[in-house]
Amino acid sequence: MSPERPSSSAAQVPPAADGLIVRLLKQTMPFQVVSEKMLQSIAKLATHASYHPRDVIYRDHEKADDIFVVISGEIEHTLADSAAEGERTRIMRNGNVFGWAAVLHADKRVRLATTTCLKSAEVIRINGPALMDLLSKEPTTRDVVMSRFATMITREFGVPSAAAEVEAGRPAKAQPSHATGLTLTMFRVSRWLKSPKPYLMFLGFGLFLSFWYLAVEVWKLPRFRDMPGLTVVIREWFSKDPTYGLSIYTPEYYEHILVSVRRIGIAFLLATSLGVPLGLFLGWSKTFREYVFPVFETLRPIPILAWVPLSILMFTGTETPVIFLTFLASFFATALNTMLGVESIDESYTRAAYCLGASKLQVFWHVIAPGAMPFIFTGLQISVGVAWFSLVAAEMVSGQFGLGYVINTSYTMVRYPTIVIGMITLGAVGYITSAIVRVVGDHMMEWRVRELALGGR
């Protein structure tokens, strides 16, 4: 016979201790990104409990009512045989959370483990249903907390089936109160505007322009004195009658920009449509990777300029070789980052999906592809930057219009201010295209935007 469960001393946490509870909750995985106001509300639900060595706090198959956060001491957490998939026993210490079955669906709130006090322990207990009712007032916060509970259950306790139940309990996106990716993107923008970052950015630009002006036009430093000065470039760029024929008032200036943007758009779409699927399969299938990856890695280091003769032989005209050369570098960056994204996915997530009866195709579409998306969009931001770099090289060799063509012909015709105008325009347009990729990524990964926004990152 198992010993009777001993009683423990429990008491409501006094208001003066709320600050200590808030600090403790901030150390835990589920509540790290929750706002201070919400943490204070959670602290009001908390009760304090003390346990002595060999006290059994709860047993498996009992009704789950509270979650527990350890203040001090040591508590042994032993999963039932039916729930364990890896290591059964863990020792809970300061800041650890257990008793998470209390946040599952009402019909599934049954303990999956037995917990025993090893050393005299102090804990706080938070009623699970009351916590869920409180979080339901802020659906966005609830989404993040439940997602972090699921991650904690999978990584620390190795119970992906329970983690899947937690994820299944999250609200649908269609709820009117649910914040959209655009809303949270704007939230991050407002946080950014209120922070010192934009002012430091303008200060950085100011320092750069000041150094350019002083080094070229005032101090006339060696290696700088033959460069076009800041005032010369600005005067030429904004002139209605430019000396070298290119300014914001000339139609030719915008024609060069549009031609380059069109080439980048075509090359980037091709690189994305081919590179993302290739990267997903390289990361997902070991057999496919063994056949394809050696060839991929052999071709990837070849410089773009080395492909110029072959591109001219393979493609007719002057436009297609430029797009092909631009596509190449972008394609390799996209495929490689996508593959790394797939490899970064914790295997416990795929195991959880298989445990719930998912097929290989369902795992691919619902676990592998979404899980790799942060890496995919990081790769796409790198990809669009590399595409601009490659485009300039391609237009210098084979183009008749475009910003790379402007820079190259301006050098041969000794139009140095126009070179700088082309370079600055290239940087500005490249920055805009990268920003567009980031915005699209935020829209397609609303779950990640919510977590980053609530985390203040």
- What per-residue confidence (pLDDT) applies to 185? 59
- What per-residue confidence (pLDDT) applies to 164? 63
Listed in sequence order, the residues at least 6 apart from 165 whose beta carbon sits closer than 8 Å to its beta carbon are 104, 105, 108
- What per-residue confidence (pLDDT) applies to 295? 94
Residue with tokens 């917990």: 115
- What per-residue confidence (pLDDT) applies to 169? 53
CATH superfamily membership of 228-454: MetI-like (1.10.3720.10)
- Residue 229 CA: distances (Å) to CA of 218, 219, 235, 242: 10, 11, 10, 16
- What per-residue confidence (pLDDT) applies to 197? 83
Look at domain 9-178 and name its CATH class. Answer: mainly beta
Neighbours of 413 (CB within 10 A): 10
- The verdict on pTM exceeding 0.85 is no
Backbone angles phi, psi at 182, to 5 degrees: -65, -40
Cα–Cα distance measured from residue 432 to residue 247, given in angstroms and rounded to the nearest whole number = 20
- Residue 370 token pair: 């979404």
Return per-residue pLDDT of the chain as tens, 457 residues.
344 444 555 555 554 467 788 888 888 888 877 888 888 889 888 888 999 999 999 998 898 889 999 999 999 998 887 666 667 888 998 889 998 888 887 777 888 889 999 999 999 999 988 998 898 888 877 877 887 888 788 777 767 666 666 655 554 443 333 444 555 556 667 777 778 888 898 999 999 999 999 999 999 898 888 899 999 999 999 999 999 989 999 999 999 999 999 999 999 999 999 999 999 999 988 899 999 999 999 999 998 889 988 888 888 878 889 999 999 989 999 999 999 999 888 887 788 788 877 888 888 888 888 888 888 888 898 999 999 988 888 887 766 789 999 998 998 898 999 999 999 999 999 999 998 998 888 777 765 555 554 444 4
- Residue 324 token pair: 């092909």
Residue 75, classed as helix, strand or coil, is strand
- What per-residue confidence (pLDDT) applies to 357? 78
Strands 97-98 and 66-79: antiparallel
- Residue 114 CA: distances (Å) to CA of 1, 102, 128, 426: 15, 14, 18, 63
Residue with tokens 């416990």: 348
Say if residues 413 and 289 touch (Cβ distance below 8 Å): no
Say if residues 238 and 244 touch (Cβ distance below 8 Å): no
Residues 405-408: contacts with CB under 8 Å, at least 24 apart? 405/256, 406/246, 406/256
Say if residues 390 and 399 touch (Cβ distance below 8 Å): no
Calculate the dihedral angle through the C-alpha atoms of 27, 29, 35, 39, rounding to the nearest 10 degrees.
-70
Listed in sequence order, the residues at least 6 apart from 95 whose beta carbon sits closer than 8 Å to its beta carbon are 24, 27, 28, 69, 70
Any idea where the domains of the chain sit in the sequence? 9-178, 228-454
Say if residues 407 and 392 touch (Cβ distance below 8 Å): yes
